[in-house]
Structure 1
Amino acid sequence: MGTSFNEQFDQHGAWRRQFALRLKLLSEWLRDHDLLDAAVEERLRRLETQIRSDKVMVAFVAEFSRGKSELINAIFFAGYKRRIMPASAGRTTMCPTELGYDGEVPPCLRLLPIETRLQPQPLMEWRAVPEKWVRFDLDVNDASQLAQAFEKVAEVRRVTTDEARALGFWHDEFPENNPLLGPDGKVEVPRWRHALINIAHPLLKQGLVILDTPGLNAIGAEPELTVNLIPQAHAVVFILAADTGVTKSDLAIWREHLISEGDSADARLVVLNKIDTMWDALRTPYEVQGEIERQRATSAQVLGLSESQVIPVSAQKGLLAKINEDAALLQASQLPVLERALSHGVMGHRRNILRASVAANIVSLRSEAARAIQIRRRDLAEQMMELKGLRGKNTSVIRQMRARIEQEQREFDVSGARVHAVRSVHLKLLREVLALLGTPALKQEMAELTAKLRQPGIKLGARKAYAQTFDRLRATLRQAADSSAEIQSMLTGTFRQLNAEYGFSLQAPREPDLVRFQRDLDLVERSHIQYLGMGNMFRLAQPEFADRLVRALATRLRVVYESALGELELWNKSAAAQLDAQLRERRRNFGRRLEAIERIQQAASGLDQRIAEIESQEAALSVLEAKLLELTGQLITVPEEESAPSEPLRMSA
């Protein structure tokens, strides 16, 4: 049936482990050969962090009773031979639930009380306050205990309509979306705002994060879920019921909360679940399949997708087939078709992005290290010419040579002040750029947006306020890009002058690409504008809701700005590391030249011996360069066969 999502993800994990090992070997080799300057060390650190912390998030989104939790059970937890996520009638996920793995945290379920909605802090800030979460320890080897613990994400509590309104679950303007009013005048709302499940499932250990979201009413009440978590997921699986097709509430979720513009086709999959409800013993399999295909075509048309993005599945039968190892039923459930779409779409796309990013960083790292080797090679060539020029010369000429080297050394020491002046000017200009993207500037922008959204009345001008804010953010980013271009031009000219005056081989590092962060801003803006549909205009009339939305925006923008700042800082380190490396190598070169002259003065055979040593060192540099190409080449192109898992993925249940 081809490679399943589980197998493909296991291969991705194996590739990451292999890469991390090779990266460690490269780091040790560079350190052993004194090629690990500040810029190279920073690139290695970033690569290691990127590989270790790389996550692949798959978000499952659906209205209630579409079989979403059952689908998660079928794809990820069938190895436990039972349901793990609550999926029985009347028992469903009521709060957004993230399943992932953190080796520094014991296996546990952490639940954030719904009352935290009454406070302005966004989810990202609550994550940093573990004492506010209710924690339950988990036994990953006890399937029954796991399933029992996970049922807590389905817990509800009964509240008055006033309480429900304050928590964001009751809207007088949209009575059709409100929860049912009970005889006691109360309604059910989720007991928990957010759930974090930390378990050592093989896929989760390798970086998979599963986001299980509740229905429309719960999604709309949590802006951070819609504008941050779902848009940043690497794949979104939207689940419909095959017997009903696209309902009004399904369409509302799709249009208001799922951003499809500009996304890869593989990143958005629609599952037409519960096709087993259409299986009919009184009709031929051909007729049943024809009806499923018609429902598939209709759903694709309503959602504006190609039919290939709509996959008919029976999650329940797929889970049953995996538990009973029934190949025929598994085939009929069409679950393997969905797993292949996830594996080739999500994993293939994610691996390509990660490898492209890794390759770009390794090429830069190789250039930094190769430049140091070239400096050493040039210095050896100068020494060789100098020493060969001494052949047949008398003691007086050799003394003159020593005096000339000492004079050059004194002049070079004076040049150190010039180099420090260059660095000082560069740092001053860089600080001005960093200030444009710093936290104070971002806080000021968010304060202005908050003030506009807090104005009385329905926020029909909210879109305009957001558009103006993002126009200013993009202008700031363009200003930072223009300033960095000016600094780059200054560095290029200054480096050229230093090369001419002092024989350096400085080369201005590649200018940071700030344009890609403008694209990130566009994505953030799109997710927020999508959220500002008429359905949320009335919510924006509540100051606390507007504040929560802006805090969610600030959380995501901070990530974009910090990434841009990181690029600028690495650019600065690359320039500074070159200056430091060439100053250090030149000082060593003077020391080696004076040492050679001294040895020649003491022994007649010293000249030929030193020339032989330099020839040997030149040969060693060629070996060093070849090894650098070999080690970095292995990191750029990892053979596919090395990515294959050594054994099939197994679950210890």
Structure 2
Amino acid sequence: MGTSFNEQFDQHGAWRREFALRLKLLSEWLKDHELLDAAIQERLRRLESQVRSDKVMVAFVAEFSRGKSELINAIFFAGYKRRIMPASAGRTTMCPTELGYDAEVPPCLRLLPIETRLQPQPLMEWRLAPEKWTRVDLDVNDSAQLAQAFEKVAEVRKVTIDEAKALGFWHDDTPEDNPLPSADGMLEVPRWRHALINIAHPLLKQGLVILDTPGLNAIGAEPELTVNLIPQAHAVVFILAADTGVTKSDLAIWREHLIAEDQDADARLVVLNKIDTMWDSLSTPTQVQAQIERQRATSAEILGLRKDQVIPVSAQKGLVAKVTSDADLLAASQLPVLEKALGEGVMGQRQSILRSAVASNIADLRTEAGRALNIRRRDLAEQMIELKGLRGKNTSVIRHMRSRIEQEQRDFDVSGAKIHAVRSVHLKLLREVFALLGTTSLKAEMAELTKELRQPGIKLGVRRAYSLTFDRLRQALRKAQATSNEIQSMLTGTFRQLNAEYGFSLQPPKEPELSRFERDLELIERSHQQYLGVSNALRLAQPEFADRLVRALATRLRVVYESALGELELWNKASAAQLDAQLRERRRNFSRRLEAIERIQQAASGLDDRIAEIESQETAINELDTKLAELTGHLVAAPPVAAAGQPQLLRA
């Protein structure tokens, strides 16, 4: 069936490992040849971090009992030759469960008690407090122990109706969504709010993150899951049951939580699971297939998708087929078709985005390092002209040349004050930009939104409150862009003046494009506005729920603002590093010129020797430039993966 998702992920992991190695070698080479200034070092650090920490999140979303956990077992964990995620009949995953890998944390299952919903901190903050989670250590070599530990995500606890209300599982205004009380009037709710599983599974080690979500009621009660985690997933696999098709609750999840106009079409896959329930010994294979195709076409039409985005599968038979190595059953389960769609859609899209970002950053890095070489090349050319002009001249001319160089050096030292003044103005304007996008500004906006949402009664004006908040956030970004434009104009003028007065070759670094962060704001606003539908209007009447929603928003906005500030910091470092590099090279140039004059004064042969040295240095610079192009070229071109799946190492 072509390359499976697992195989494609292996190849992506091999590419990332090789890229990180090449980047490290480039960094060492730049350092060895004194080309590693602060801006280049920062760019290298970001590139390495971006590629090493690149995560691919696949969210599995469905109503209860659609076979999510079994599908995860079949695609990712069949190598254990048994079920790992709990997948028995009835409700299994009662809380959102993330599977990933962090080398800094030992293999474990961490569980956040459901009672934390009664406290104000957002989920992101709870992640930073590991001591508040219940931890179960895992033995990755014991599949039975793993499976037993993972059963904890299905645990429930009994609470009163008042407790259920406080936790967000009971709403008087929507009785049809409430859990059924037992004979003693108690209700079953999940024992845990969120689960984090950290294991060194080969795919998880390469950056895959799997998000297994519970049903509609649990999704709606946890705003961070709906407005943060699911919208940020690189792919969402929505699971239906083949025998029922799209039910009312399935459609509610799809419409309220999963429709996203901005998402790539291939990033939304619908799985028509349990097709084995339609395998009927009284029907011919052709008749069975026709039934499946009808259900597939109907589901696609209801959900507004292309038919090829609805993939019929039997997760249970696929898992059995992989465990028993039954090729015919695996083909009948159609699991390889889904794996191919995930591999080509999710991984193809993710690799394309990452490689595009990498290529852009490497091109900038190449320009910055090449500029340093050009400064050296120009200084050598000036020295060569100067020295050749001394041929056949007497001692007094050479002495006069020395005086002139020393005067140039004194004049140049005076330029330091002017450069310091430029930096002061530059940093003052930069501080204004940082204030617009800083934590204080964001907290003020969130406090204003919280105040609006805490108005008594049902929030009929909640959408307007959100719209006004996002309008102000966009205005702050545009103001920051306008100030950065002002800084760029100032830098351009100053660099031009310094180039004319002191013979520099300064070029203003590429200005940060903050407008792309407006696009991020638009996506966040859309996911929140979608969540603010009529079904959640009643929930928003509860102040604690509105607070939780604002905290979820603040968590996601902080990421956007930090990214924007990171771009500005890199831009600032690039301009400062360029000035530092040219000042440093110019001082070296004065030293070399004075040294050359001294040697010429001491020996008649010194002039020819020095000219030969400069010619040799020019050749060395050309060789460095060629090597720089080769090393950066290796990074931009996606390195081929070796046949054995191991990265081919750079031969430097």
| Normalised-by-shorter TM-score class | over 0.9
Alignment partners' CA distance in 1, 2:557 and 2:450: 15
Alignment partners' CA distance in 2, 1:635 and 1:146: 39
Q: Corresponding residue for 1:186?
A: 186
| 1:555 equivalenced with 2:548 (yes/no) | no
Alignment partners' CA distance in 2, 1:514 and 1:308: 37
Q: Corresponding residue for 2:505?
A: 505
Q: Corresponding residue for 1:440?
A: 440
* One-letter amino acid of the structure 2 residue matched with residue 327 of structure 1: A
1:130–1:324 CA distance, 2 compared to 1 (3 A): same
Alignment partners' CA distance in 2, 1:612 and 1:172: 91
Pairing of 1:473-622 with structure 2 (within 5 A): 473-622=473-622
Counterpart contact for 1:12–1:643, Cα < 8 Å: no
Task: Give SS of 1:493's match.
Answer: helix
| 1:140 equivalenced with 2:140 (yes/no) | yes
* One-letter amino acid of the structure 2 residue matched with residue 431 of structure 1: R
Pairing of 1:388-407 with structure 2 (within 5 A): 388-407=388-407
Pairing of 1:192-341 with structure 2 (within 5 A): 192-341=192-341
Q: CA deviation at 1:120?
A: 1.1
Q: CA deviation at 1:262?
A: 1.3
1:643–1:177 CA distance, 2 compared to 1 (3 A): farther
Partner deviation per Cα, 1:266-290 (whole Å, 9 max, x = no partner): 1100000000001111111111111
Partner deviation per Cα, 1:531-560 (whole Å, 9 max, x = no partner): 101111111111111111000000000000
Task: Give SS of 2:239's match.
Answer: strand
Partner deviation per Cα, 1:44-69 (whole Å, 9 max, x = no partner): 11111111111000000000000010
Counterpart contact for 2:18–2:639, Cα < 8 Å: no
Pairing of 1:22-37 with structure 2 (within 5 A): 22-37=22-37
Alignment partners' CA distance in 2, 1:641 and 1:23: 17
Q: Corresponding residue for 1:96?
A: 96
Alignment partners' CA distance in 1, 2:180 and 2:202: 40
Task: Give SS of 1:87's match.
Answer: coil
Q: CA deviation at 1:259?
A: 3.4
Q: CA deviation at 1:470?
A: 0.3
| 1:15 equivalenced with 2:15 (yes/no) | yes
Task: Give SS of 1:57's match.
Answer: strand
Give ranges in structure 1 of 5+ residues lacking alignment: 648-653
Alignment partners' CA distance in 2, 1:246 and 1:379: 72
Alignment partners' CA distance in 1, 2:10 and 2:392: 68
Counterpart contact for 1:112–1:133, Cα < 8 Å: yes
Q: CA deviation at 1:642?
A: 4.5
* One-letter amino acid of the structure 2 residue matched with residue 583 of structure 1: L
Counterpart contact for 1:271–1:313, Cα < 8 Å: yes
Task: Give SS of 1:505's match.
Answer: coil
Task: Give SS of 1:538's match.
Answer: helix
* One-letter amino acid of the structure 2 residue matched with residue 359 of structure 1: A
Task: Give SS of 1:93's match.
Answer: coil
| 1:64 equivalenced with 2:68 (yes/no) | no
| 1:381 equivalenced with 2:376 (yes/no) | no
Alignment partners' CA distance in 2, 1:642 and 1:428: 51
Q: Corresponding residue for 2:77?
A: 77
Pairing of 1:449-460 with structure 2 (within 5 A): 449-460=449-460
Q: CA deviation at 1:91?
A: 5.0
Q: Corresponding residue for 1:112?
A: 112
Q: Corresponding residue for 2:166?
A: 166
Task: Give SS of 1:561's match.
Answer: helix
Alignment partners' CA distance in 2, 1:232 and 1:431: 30
Alignment partners' CA distance in 2, 1:260 and 1:469: 21
Give ranges in structure 2 of 5+ residues lacking alignment: 648-652
Q: CA deviation at 1:641?
A: 3.7
Alignment partners' CA distance in 1, 2:624 and 2:531: 56
Alignment partners' CA distance in 1, 2:384 and 2:642: 45
Partner deviation per Cα, 1:86-131 (whole Å, 9 max, x = no partner): 0011351000000000111110000000001111111001011111
Counterpart contact for 1:318–1:329, Cα < 8 Å: yes
* One-letter amino acid of the structure 1 residue matched with residue 271 of structure 2: V
1:223–1:644 CA distance, 2 compared to 1 (3 A): farther
* One-letter amino acid of the structure 1 residue matched with residue 60 of structure 2: F
Alignment partners' CA distance in 2, 1:489 and 1:85: 58
Q: Corresponding residue for 2:121?
A: 121
Alignment partners' CA distance in 1, 2:516 and 2:303: 30
Q: Corresponding residue for 2:418?
A: 418
Q: CA deviation at 1:643?
A: 8.6
Counterpart contact for 1:140–1:146, Cα < 8 Å: yes
Counterpart contact for 2:366–2:629, Cα < 8 Å: yes
Partner deviation per Cα, 1:202-257 (whole Å, 9 max, x = no partner): 00000000000000010000000000000000000000000000000000000111
Counterpart contact for 1:94–1:155, Cα < 8 Å: yes
Give the count of matched residue pairs.
647
Counterpart contact for 2:15–2:641, Cα < 8 Å: no
Q: Corresponding residue for 1:3?
A: 3
Q: Corresponding residue for 1:360?
A: 360
* One-letter amino acid of the structure 2 residue matched with residue 512 of structure 1: P
Tell me the TM-score normalised to structure 2 length.
0.98
* One-letter amino acid of the structure 2 residue matched with residue 477 of structure 1: L
* One-letter amino acid of the structure 2 residue matched with residue 169 of structure 1: F
Alignment partners' CA distance in 1, 2:133 and 2:326: 41
Tell me the TM-score normalised to structure 1 length.
0.98
Counterpart contact for 1:57–1:209, Cα < 8 Å: yes
Counterpart contact for 2:47–2:358, Cα < 8 Å: yes
Alignment partners' CA distance in 1, 2:246 and 2:507: 59
Q: CA deviation at 1:162?
A: 1.0
RMSD (CA atoms): 0.9
Counterpart contact for 2:11–2:641, Cα < 8 Å: no
| 1:465 equivalenced with 2:465 (yes/no) | yes
Counterpart contact for 1:14–1:644, Cα < 8 Å: no
Counterpart contact for 1:15–1:642, Cα < 8 Å: no
Counterpart contact for 1:409–1:590, Cα < 8 Å: yes
Partner deviation per Cα, 1:410-429 (whole Å, 9 max, x = no partner): 00000111111111111111
Deviation larger for 250-259 or 55-64: 250-259
Counterpart contact for 1:226–1:257, Cα < 8 Å: yes
Task: Give SS of 1:112's match.
Answer: strand
Alignment partners' CA distance in 2, 1:155 and 1:361: 47
Q: CA deviation at 1:161?
A: 1.1
Alignment partners' CA distance in 1, 2:199 and 2:460: 44
* One-letter amino acid of the structure 2 residue matched with residue 370 of structure 1: G
1:633–1:642 CA distance, 2 compared to 1 (3 A): farther
Q: CA deviation at 1:181?
A: 1.4
Q: CA deviation at 1:646?
A: 3.6
